[in-house]
Amino acid sequence: DFRNAFIGTLQKLNNSPSRGVFVHSCYVHGHIGAREGWGCSSIVGNNTIREAISDWYFDRNPFQMIDTVNDVPRDCNSSTVPEVNGKCMRLMQ
């Protein structure tokens, strides 16, 4: 399937720190345009997409994370992990 082919191709690439990778299994991808979606969704490696892109852009972390756990598309607008919900609530205030 496309998912496995895509992830397989990414994993074969040279892991250059200048190449940021954040591959999630969300069934909606347009959610990062909203403040809530940017900071509260798409958890990969215990990072939101906001944290991952910020750290990569400002050279704090060569972020290269691929969600290999969730092979079925999921709802990334919420989380059952208390730490993630806490991060989200702090961002919303």
Give residue-wise pLDDT tens across range 28-62: 655 556 665 565 655 666 777 778 788 888 988 87
Residue 72 has pLDDT above 60, yes or no: yes
User: Which of 78, 68, 75, 15 lies closest to 45, judged by CA?
Assistant: 68
Predicted confidence band of residue 92 (pLDDT cuts 50, 70, 90): low
> What pLDDT, on a 0 to 100 scale, did the predictor assign at position 83?
61
Average pLDDT, rounded, for the chain: 70
Residue 20 has pLDDT above 70, yes or no: yes
